[in-house]
Structure 1
Amino acid sequence: MGNSYIFSLTPTFTQGLVLGQLSILVLLALVLKYLFFIPPESETETVPFHPLSKSNPSWHQDVKEDDKDSIPEQESAHWFNILARQVVEVYRAKLQNNLTGYEGIEVARRKIEDHANNLRPRGFLDHITVHSVDLGMSAPKLSNAQVVNDNDGDSAPTTIEFDMSYTDTISVSLSTSYLFNYPMSSFARLPVSLTISLSLFESKVTLVPPSPASAAPVLTISLPQDFTLNLKTTSLMGSRAMLRDVPKLHELIEYQVRKVLALRGTWKVILPGMASLATVQQEIEKEQAASKEQG
């Protein structure tokens, strides 16, 4: 028989190499048979494979259609009303230096009086004395949030629109004198006492997201020109013979308030890290110049 044999309890290096190769071949055959191959008697349907490419944007379209279907025509703005009320309360508190009661109202009265005298035309109005202020208790309420225009993938941003209504007890009572400078400076004075209170303010609020194509992307919040403003004005004019509630004075005050809201009814919120205040101001000046040229 001799001493020749293939395997032993202590295999050599050559025997171990052969055994390892055989085990790998057996494992590979099992994997191919049960994972990739199918029996000849079974019938299965082969699904073709189409890799996604930029030339086939169907998957982008599906995502956009899903987003459109998930957006309702009108969205509740209750969450925003809660946030807006808290913001208004912060402004009221800061205007009163976080004081309450009479002390807080007195602080707010002095601040409003100082601000009014800084803005008054000194050649026409005497010192303005603010007698009382009411900062109100309510806040603007938004409703009927909806998408106004959807650009379907266009670079222009989508516009969101809200309905806003504000009814409150906010009011201010003041007195001053109108100066007559003819035939000489301060020739005569006409005392005027006013109480102005807000009855109703209603308007659309337009929210325009920032545009990626803009050099200074900003979030734009604006009010249209056709808002509803109802002010209640009581007035006394004169020293001895007094005129009460002059209609022309009421029209003048309401016109000035409307003018201020129309001029300052657009707010631009700078995105953090996107642009500086100077860059945004330059973009606004360019837009105003372009609108004047078109007009």
Structure 2
Amino acid sequence: MATTDMCPMKPEPTLSFTQGLIVGQISVVLLIAAFIKFFIFGDAPSPEVTATIRAAERRSRTLAHRQSLLTLRSTTPNSARPGQPTLNKKKSSILRSPPTLTIGSILNKTYYNVDSHQPESLDWFNVLIAQTIAQFRSDAQQDDAILTSLTKALNGTSRPDFLDEIKVTELTLGEDFPIFSNCRIIPVDEVDQDGLSLNKGPHGEKRFDANSSRAKREGSRLQARMDVDLSDMITLALETKILLNYPKRLTAVLPVALAVSVVRFSGTLSISFIPSNPSQSTPTMMTFSFLDDYRLDFSVRSLVGSRSRLQDVPKIAQLVESRLHRWFDERAVEPRFQEIALPSLWPRKRNTRGGDDPLLDPAHGTAASSVSSGSAGKGKGREIARELKEEARKEVRAEAAAGQRRDLRDREISPPENLRYRRARGQRDGSAISEFSMPGSLPGMGMALDLPP
């Protein structure tokens, strides 16, 4: 019974404290080595594999968005859809409104056959775009406006606390120009961005049906699509420091230099117009976006450290490329798009430039011969326009005061019922012809009245 009450003996540990410490240190070293080898110095996947994976993700996101729109359209009644007016306002019977034009009637009136029209090359458009980009690059070389704006944007309020001041060390705007080609017009709606109501022909080809219900549905519009290809070297190089502020401020500082270059971009640009809505006071909008099958290649160079430096870390390049692709996808890749409000295209006098005549003030026609179109800058143009407006206001006030004094003098001299005539300057055929001077008439012109002799 005494033997049963005794505590069992504990087994002695097989490893001593020193052996356990050594095993723990070795495991930590192995983990750090694996992290450095596979995370920092691991081989990055090929650009083709990365582009394929990203294209598949973008395509699945686009299909999910279209499916949600189809579900919303099927569950929402026609009377409750947004964008449709609910109040019937009385329209004027004088202003004749034209009949509602569908995309099919627009194509018929412009003689554009979607099925047989050949894509356009857009050579003339490439020349205009190249001239605009060349002027932009020339203006950027004249002053440091773009460099100042870029530095201010990078060091704005969104900069995290662990980053020091960001300095731009290199900025290259490139030397080549984008090439637009293969432009075509495609009828689309808000759900089917690949072309709506394309029926099969007798030989299996796709044909556009202008009389289908989808072509006449609200939200259907015409869209211009063109291929874009740019092979250039647009580089932005930055330099900053990573700050470690724990457990106290500036515990460690790690210099980092990064250079990102856009090597090539190829994709499909889609442009369409949204008509104005008077009930909501919205102007005409131009929308543009890129299809999800685009290709954007970067070249990322990195340098980490001050003495023992790590150059061109693959994982840093992957993180930067992923962030840039996400930034572009969230702004200009369908189903997202950019909207630009278009100004009024109605011809106005104040927008007129050029010609042999001096620049005239649109309100009162005062000459400003010292100003020529294109010779004055934006700031000087605003000052001249302000001076012209002040002079015009002074002239209007002076003319109004003179008119009031003239009316008072006429009332004192003669009663309002009195009408003074001028004597006739000549007679013809025995009848007196009296010539009256009309207000606002040209010199030498008048109105002749036959008066009795």
- TM-score under structure 2 normalisation? 0.42
Give the drift of 1:191. 0.9
1:125 maps to which of 163, 171, 175: 163
Between the aligned partners of 2:152 and 2:105, the Cα distance in structure 1 is 58
- Does the 8 Å contact 2:225/2:271 carry over to 1? yes
Change (3 A) 1:226 1:186: farther
Residue deviations 1:250-291 (CA, integer Å, cap 9, x gap): 1111122212222222321213249xxxxxxxxxxxxxxxxx
Instruction: Please list, as runs of the form range in 1=range in 2, the aligned pairs for 1:76-115 lying within 5 A after superposition.
Output: 76-96=121-141, 99=142, 108-115=146-153
Give the drift of 1:163. 0.8
- Does the 8 Å contact 1:192/1:236 carry over to 2? yes
Instruction: Please list, as runs of the form range in 1=range in 2, the aligned pairs for 1:148-187 lying within 5 A after superposition.
Output: 148-149=186-187, 152=210, 154=216, 155=218, 156-187=220-251
Q: Which amino acid aligns with 2:131?
A: Q
Q: Which amino acid aligns with 1:75?
A: E
Between the aligned partners of 1:65 and 1:225, the Cα distance in structure 2 is 32
Q: Confirm whether residue 271 of structure 1 aligns to residue 342 of structure 2.
A: yes
Change (3 A) 1:236 1:213: same
Partner of 2:3: none
1:250 maps to which of 297, 314, 317: 317
Change (3 A) 1:273 1:189: same
Partner of 1:221: 288
Between the aligned partners of 2:162 and 2:306, the Cα distance in structure 1 is 18
- TM-score under structure 1 normalisation? 0.62
Secondary structure of 1:147 counterpart: strand
Between the aligned partners of 1:248 and 1:90, the Cα distance in structure 2 is 38
Between the aligned partners of 2:105 and 2:236, the Cα distance in structure 1 is 55
Between the aligned partners of 1:95 and 1:108, the Cα distance in structure 2 is 6
Secondary structure of 2:155 counterpart: helix
Secondary structure of 1:234 counterpart: strand
Give the drift of 1:212. 6.0
Q: Which amino acid aligns with 2:303?
A: L
Which stretch shows the higher mean deviation, 189-198 or 141-150? 141-150
Partner of 1:67: 111
- Does the 8 Å contact 1:74/1:144 carry over to 2? yes
Secondary structure of 1:68 counterpart: coil
Q: Which amino acid aligns with 1:199?
A: V
Instruction: Please list, as runs of the form range in 1=range in 2, the aligned pairs for 1:9-88 lying within 5 A after superposition.
Output: 64=108, 67-69=111-113, 72-88=117-133
Secondary structure of 1:158 counterpart: strand
Residue deviations 1:189-225 (CA, integer Å, cap 9, x gap): 2211122212101111011122466853311111234
Change (3 A) 1:213 1:72: farther
Show structure 1 runs of 5+ residues with no match. 1-53, 55-59, 275-295
Q: Which amino acid aligns with 1:269?
A: I
Q: Confirm whether residue 141 of structure 1 aligns to residue 179 of structure 2.
A: yes
Between the aligned partners of 1:166 and 1:119, the Cα distance in structure 2 is 33
Q: Which amino acid aligns with 1:162?
A: M
Change (3 A) 1:61 1:130: closer
Between the aligned partners of 1:141 and 1:63, the Cα distance in structure 2 is 27
Instruction: Report the identity percentage.
Output: 26
